[in-house]
Amino acid sequence: MKINFTKKQYETLFKMVQYGYWVASDIENNKEFSDLEQYLNSYAKDFGMEGIHFVKEYEIYDLSHELENKLHEVIDEYEEGVFRDKLAYHMARKEFAKESNLQEYTQEEAFKRIMELEEKYHLHIEERGLEHLKIEE
């Protein structure tokens, strides 16, 4: 089977593979992901894409620091959002656990209350940033 891509489609696929590889390579050592990433990178020149070069010593197609940094801007923004979401989620769960010891909730009420608490923490983080958070012992 043969698939034809425009330059724009190749660049989009390249980014998708890089983002996916970044996540998957941290979780699992998957040779299939690495092989596909290298295969796709090998066509960069054919599509006029700058920032990918072959490193003969390691026999791999590697990204320039500029291209890698550009991709990491998106990854960093994503990770920051995930961190804030998880922080709000866990803070809401912790507060709800304390509340639920004092008050009974139906499943629907519990869900609604947790969503309210998450929103509270999201707004707090958005308005004040992370600088005002502290851990007490």
Domain assignment of residue 2, yes or no: no
Residues 47 and 74 in one domain: no
* pTM, to two decimals: 0.75
Domain assignment of residue 133, yes or no: no
Residue holding tokens 């920051």? Answer: 80
pLDDT, tens only, 91-123? 999 999 999 998 999 999 999 999 999 999 999
Exposure string over 100-131, b if 16+ CB within 10 A, otherwise e: eeeeeeeeeeeeebbeebbeebbeebeeeeee
Q: Which residue range(s) make up the domain with 105?
A: 70-128
Residues 44 and 77 in one domain: no
Residues 59 and 74 in one domain: no
Determine how many CB atoms are found less than 10 A away from the CB of residue 34: 14
Whats the size of the chain, residue-wise?
A: 137
pLDDT, tens only, 40-79? 999 999 999 999 999 999 999 999 999 999 999 999 999 9
Residues 94 and 59 in one domain: no
